[in-house]
Chain A
Amino acid sequence: MDKVKRFKWVILLAGLLILALICRPAFGLHVAEITWSNFLYMLKILPPIFIILGLLDVWVPKETMIKFMGEASGFRGGLLAFLLGSAAAGPLYAAFPVAQVLLKKEASLINVYIFIGAWSATKVPPFLFETSTLGLPFALSRLFMIIPAIVIIALLTCKASLPEKEAIYKNAHNL
């Protein structure tokens, strides 16, 4: 029963897909095709990410993380979080498990949200792509406004999630 509950969304979506395949075969096939190719992509990129995560978890002492990105890490902690997120590659959903390790090692909530923000918006490869297609003025102007936005979003998200803070850290320890 527990297994069914965990997979309730997958089961529901699979049901929808079957329905689509029956009622609108062309659309359903298209959905299945995209899902399949994304599934393969996910299977390709997730294993190394989770291996690195496991290693980080085992080798990085909590004290180190607290020192560099913990509550008292201040501006430098935020900057480090920002640079880490920007240096990453891969879709946003790959950022969440990485954030989990940061949380487990007691990086501060705000730094983790800055990390997520940077991963979503200021990664280097997409920026280069944006520059080459939409032009440097476009890309740079957006970048300069996005950076403060990331910090403000992180601050406000941190405030809003304060009531769930303990739960978030507790959840992170399930790694």
Chain B
Amino acid sequence: MFTVILYGAAAAAVLVSFRKDREKTRQALKKGYKALINIMPEFLAVIMIIGFSLAALNPETISKIIGPSSGILGLLISSTVGAITLIPGFIAFPLAKALLDSGAGLVPIAAFVSTLMMVGFVTLPLEIKYFGKRAAYTRNSLAFVFSLTIALVMGVLPWIK
């Protein structure tokens, strides 16, 4: 669905641009192509790292690791798993729900969900390529710390059971 919209938007944009100025459109496509080729080595590396991390940490393994864990150690484990893995929301949220239902603590699950979204350990090479080491390391460490903090606060909010 998302892909269809994306292609539709790209096609429409190219069409409009082409009617306005052929030369500029040609330039734009060339630039896009060059930028894509330029970043390909990093993309390929990241795709392979994702392959390794997901093969090692598939949903069953994740639920085995996170499921029974508790306390500070459990929190650290679940947030680390979230930071390393890169799984789309439509798999991650049902997984989180299943873990909660089977008795996992709310705090580790909240931390897992947050680090999963905000911390990109496997995409670090790409992030560094675009933003440099300082920004990439800072953003990811801070995102990790904030994910933990938010999860801990969620553990004491009375309206979440």
In contact, A7 and B41 (Cβ under 8 angstroms) = yes
Closest residue of chain B to A92 (Cβ to Cβ) is: B120
CB distance from B101 to the nearest CB of A (A): 10
Subset of 8 A-B contacts with CB under 8 Å: A58-B24, A96-B127, A117-B143, A134-B100, A149-B149, A160-B134, A164-B135, A171-B130
**Residues from chain A with Cβ under 8 Å of B123 in the complex:** 92-93
Number of residues on chain A facing chain B (CB within 8 A): 77
**B159, chain A: closest CB distance, angstroms:** 5
Of the candidates A9, A137, A164, A171, which one forms a contact with B134 in the assembled complex, judged by CB atoms under 8 Å apart? A164
Given A45-B3, A130-B89, 9 extra CB contacts under 8 A: A7-B44, A14-B48, A39-B44, A100-B130, A129-B90, A133-B96, A141-B160, A167-B132, A175-B34
CB contacts (< 8 Å) of B33 on chain A: these are 50, 54
With A and B bound together, what is the CA distance between A93 and B130 in angstroms?
Answer: 11
Q: Among the listed A93, A149, A156, which residue makes an inter-chain contact with B43, where contact means beta carbons less than 8 Å apart?
A: A93
In the complex, which residues of chain B have a beta carbon less than 8 angstroms from the beta carbon of A161? 131-132, 134-135, 138
Kindly state whether residue B65 has any CB partner on chain A within 8 Å: no
* B72 touches A (CB below 8 Å): no
Distance from B145 Cβ to chain A, minimum over Cβ atoms (Å): 9
Find residues 14-44 in chain A having any chain B CB closer than 8 Å to their own CB. Answer: 14, 16-17, 27, 30-36, 38-39, 42, 44
Q: Mark A78-103, 1 if CB is under 8 A from B, else 0.
A: 00000000000111110011011000
- The CA of A120 and the CA of B144, in the complex, are separated in Å by 13
A88 to chain B, nearest CB (A): 10
Number of interface residues of B (CB under 8 A): 79
Q: Which of A42, A47, A157 has the most CB of B within 10 A?
A: A157
Interface string of A161-175 (1 = CB under 8 A from B): 101100110011011
Q: A96 touches which one: B5, B6, B126 (CB < 8 A)?
A: B126
A153 within 8 A of B: yes
Residues of B within 8 A of A149 (CB): 143, 146, 149-150
Give, as a whole number of angstroms, the nearest-CB distance from A104 to chain B: 10
B142 and A120 within 8 A (CB): no
Give A97 Cβ to nearest chain B Cβ, in Å: 6
B-contact 0/1 string along A97-116, CB 8 Å cutoff:
10110000000000001001
Known: A91-B86, A141-B159. A34 touches B28 (CB 8 A): no
Shortest Cβ distance from B109 into A: residue? A134
How far is it, in angstroms, between the C-alpha of A6 and the C-alpha of B43 when the chains are bound? 12
Query: In the complex the two chains form, is B94's CB within 8 Å of A133's CB?
Result: yes
Choice from A13, A133, A171 contacting B52 with Cβ under 8 Å: A13
